[in-house]
Structures are given as C-alpha cells and as structure tokens.
Chain A
C-alpha cells in the first residue's frame, strides 16, 4: 500500500454526527487525495492536497472538508454525516512530481445509519 495507512478501517455512525477519517503516509509525498467508491461508480475524487495547508475540491466535495497540517497526514471530515455518505473511502498519494500514478491505501468502510 505504498506506505499509506488509513484509520479507522471500519466505522459505523449515526446520521448527523461528525466523522473524521485519517490518512497517514510515511514517505513525504506532496500530493494526497481522498476518494469515495460506490457500487456502479468509478472512484470519485472528494478533495486533494498539493502541500501542507494547500487543498482543493474534487467532483463530489459537498458535505466534506479536509485538512493537512503536516505532510504526512490528510484528514477527511464529514461535518454532519448523512446516509448518502455511506461508502468506502480511499486515500491515495502521487509518488513523484510529473508522475501522475496514484497509489492507494487500504480503505475505510463507513456506514451511516
């Protein structure tokens, strides 16, 4: 998994509660990404980061926020979880500048009841 860990790996929460997912990398890669994966859809980009405190929205960013205060950590927060946010969330990193290949973490399975 290219030195990427995600926590928690599984979470069950209730509608309306805040949830934070953590992505941690050990190799100081500049670019980090959060995706969600749902049946019938390809991976969809939520947010990405191109450096500490530098983030931008992806195609499905509504209801999500991110923070990156250290190179190694990229946090995804659901401010008030909804059932439509039940999904599998993947973190990814880009290895080298100009090398667009992304490597993925093991995923977090989130169930919002």
Chain B
C-alpha cells in the first residue's frame, strides 16, 4: 500500500482495548467536525460527525467528544479490533457559507493481536 503519511503520530493498542485518538482544531468559528478512517490504498471513509452545539456523539463502537473551550476533538473506539488499524484524521468546517473542510494530518492506529 501507499504511504499516507510517513511521519504520522502512531497509537499502538492491544486488540480489545479502547483507543483514543485526539485532534486539535484551529478555528474557533468551526461549527462542524468529522472523523475519517483511511486504510492503506483507499480513500477516506466517513466514521462519525458532530456539530458544535453538541459535546458528545456516539455511534457503533465509536464516540466523538468535542471540547470547544480548548478546541479539541477526540475519537474513542471501544474494543479495538485488527480491522480498525488505519490512519484516522479529523476535519473541521468553518462556519461560513463555504462547503470547504480543513483536514488534519492524521494519526496512525496500530492494533496488536
């Protein structure tokens, strides 16, 4: 597969443990946030999103937490599985009329069997 990011921070977790991936965003006017998962050789895949009027949102095995005070976003993955190994990155939408997103560079998650 290709190298999505040669110098990405890496999180290594034991299979079955919970994973927490963090993201600091840049703009206090950002009103919408998305987490994506990218496996080697594939396009980014939507995982979960959250709007700025919320501080927590849960999906299947995933939870996103938003702390607007410190401009911090986290993705929690419960009972991490080998198939969760990928690069994860956040994206923010700044609250103007544009549909453009700003993407972080990502964190590589490695799941140890």
Partner of A40, one of B6, B34, B44, B91: B6
Pairwise interchain contact B99-A48, C-beta atoms closer than 8 A: yes
Partner of B43, one of A42, A45, A107: A107
Q: Map CB proximity to A onto B20-64 as digits: 1 under 8 Å, 0 otherwise.
A: 000000000000101010000111111001000000000000000
Given A100-B32, A100-B93, check contact A43 B44 (CB 8 Å): yes
The docked-state distance in angstroms from the alpha carbon of A94 to that of B32 is 14
The docked-state distance in angstroms from the alpha carbon of A101 to that of B33 is 9
Given A37-B4, A39-B6, check contact A100 B99 (CB 8 Å): yes
The docked-state distance in angstroms from the alpha carbon of A84 to that of B6 is 17
Pairwise interchain contact B43-A101, C-beta atoms closer than 8 A: no
Does more than half of chain A's interface fall in helix, strand or loop, or is it mixed?
strand
**Which residues on the B side are within 8 Å of A50 (C-beta)?**
99
The answer, yes or no, to whether B101 is at the interface (CB within 8 Å) is: yes
**Which residues on the A side are within 8 Å of B93 (C-beta)?**
100
Pairwise interchain contact B104-A104, C-beta atoms closer than 8 A: no
Residue of B nearest to A98 (CB): B99
Residues of A86-113 whose CB lies within 8 A of B: 88, 90, 94, 100-107, 109
Q: How many residues on chain A are close to B (CB under 8 Å)?
A: 26
The answer, yes or no, to whether A18 is at the interface (CB within 8 Å) is: no
**Which residues on the A side are within 8 Å of B91 (C-beta)?**
43, 102
**Which residues on the B side are within 8 Å of A42 (C-beta)?**
89, 102-106
Q: Map CB proximity to A onto B86-111 as digits: 1 under 8 Å, 0 otherwise.
A: 00010101000001111111100000
Pairwise interchain contact B43-A104, C-beta atoms closer than 8 A: yes
